Copies of this chain bind each other. A is one copy, B any other.
Amino acid sequence: MKDLRAGPTGFHDVRETNLGVVLRAVRTLAPCSRAAVAAATGLNKTTVSSLVADLIARGLLRETGESAERRVGRPGVMLALDELTIAAIGVEVNVDYLSVVAVDLLERSLITRHIAFDARSAGPDACAHRIVEAVRSVADAPALRHRTLIGLSVAVPGLVDSPRGVVTRAPNLAWRGTPLRSRLEELMEPAGPPPMPVLVDNDANLGAVAEYRGGHLARTGDLVYITGEVGIGAGVLMNGELLRGSAGFAGEIGHVRMVEDGPPCGCGRRGCLEALAGIEAILRAALPDRFPAGALSRADLADLVDSAVQRATAQDPVAVDALHTAGSWLGRGAATLVNLVNPGAVVLGGYFVPLAPWLLPACRPAVRELSFAPDAGGCVVETSELGLSAAAQGGAVAMVDAMESGRLPLPPPQAGSADEGAS
């Protein structure tokens, strides 16, 4: 049911698209010859040579010396991704921290920073300043200082209108209609780092990208990543592509009503999954003595999660029971995903990871019990190995990934460009 092919695109678009195709081919095949790239992509050898030259000029490919293969005629020079030239930065804003990750062209982490930060109290403008400060600090670090920054992505826990770069609604940050991308672009303009594309997206979506590209279930095409913070969101990949829906608001598993007249949720409703199994709900139930007046400082979340782990390890019945109950609700939420989108894997992330030894024994049976398809439609429930930086890493990876769709950094100025009139 695909629509009619688009009409002929402009020459520039075709070339950018083909640059992305060659980049992707070298990522898959490296080390490889130009001839191997031509064979894999269906592009002719002359075109491939021209595209490769362009990618080398942009610092994205490098020659690795000659092939070890014995062959007749001129030995093939081998190509690989140039992992030394560029970097992409991803930032995650959450209620109690900022995560910052920089990756190279191989999508390997160059820097990972975790910054305790109460984004809700700070408000969106102070948060934008803090993000830019963190990006500048990372850009100046020795591992990045000589690299071209190809893009910045910012992950936010809430509804994001990604094409416009606006946070539509993030109840746990108390943000609504926040034009985050344009504010970041304004703040970055006057001084370095130099202008670069800025992407704003939902944290669960970018967590799912990180899992798909580099998690231990990497390349599971139908994969759901569930954030485990104060909020719960799902990033849903189908055939390796993010399921966004008509307005970009898909994946809001945290606000599916699980029970009538349940506990109040940050969204203003009752009985949402997030109100039953989000980290704040879990901590309130597991550590009732730590919330004397119902107050919770967001900056304490990591410490409180540690306390819950310690108590559960010591078999404190209140903590164990709270985690078991939350695990059952998570299982029912995951079963809803299984029934509706039938993923091959559900990956629990964030603070769910340290709590998984007590969550999973209740979660997994609930998924099997409440899924209509036999054996939960083949879905496994696992925990992430990417820690609290999953969404930041996924964002950085998404910027690298965008190059393979033909959105490449500009080539450096041509050495001969001043001689134009001479010939």
A-side interface residues toward B, CB under 8 Å?
1-5, 7-8, 21, 24-25, 28, 39-42, 159, 168-169, 209, 212-213, 221-222, 234, 236, 238, 240-241, 243-257, 259-260, 267, 269, 332, 335-337, 339-344, 369-374, 377-379, 401
Q: Do the beta carbons of B245 and A222 come within 8 Å of each other?
A: yes
Q: Do the beta carbons of B4 and A24 come within 8 Å of each other?
A: yes
What is the minimal beta-carbon distance from A196 to any residue of chain B, in angstroms?
Answer: 21
A340 in complex: contacting residue of B234, B248, B374, CB < 8 Å = B234
Q: Do the beta carbons of A373 and B159 come within 8 Å of each other?
A: yes
Q: A238-B245, A240-B1 are in contact. Are A251 and B340 (CB under 8 A)?
A: yes
What is the minimal beta-carbon distance from A257 to any residue of chain B, in angstroms?
Answer: 5
Q: A257-B370, A260-B259 are in contact. Are A342 and B7 (CB under 8 A)?
A: no
Q: Interface centre among A21, A243, A401, by most B CB within 10 Å? A: A243
Q: Which B residue's beta carbon lies closest to that of A254?
A: B372
What is the minimal beta-carbon distance from A387 to any residue of chain B, in angstroms?
Answer: 22
A247 in complex: contacting residue of B4, B244, B369, B378, CB < 8 Å = B378
Question: Across the interface, which residues of B come within 8 angstroms of A378, CB to CB?
Answer: 246-247
A238 in complex: contacting residue of B169, B238, B337, CB < 8 Å = B238
What is the minimal beta-carbon distance from A125 to any residue of chain B, in angstroms?
Answer: 23
Ranked nearest first, the 10 interchain pairs of A and B with the lowest CB-CB distance are: A245-B342, A255-B372, A246-B344, A222-B246, A249-B373, A250-B342, A252-B339, A252-B372, A249-B377, A249-B342
Cross-chain pairs A/B with CB under 8 angstroms, 23 sampled: A1-B240, A1-B241, A168-B373, A169-B374, A238-B245, A243-B243, A245-B341, A245-B377, A246-B344, A246-B378, A248-B342, A249-B342, A249-B372, A250-B340, A253-B340, A254-B372, A255-B339, A255-B372, A256-B336, A257-B370, A259-B259, A259-B260, A336-B336
Question: Across the interface, which residues of B come within 8 angstroms of A250, CB to CB?
Answer: 340-342
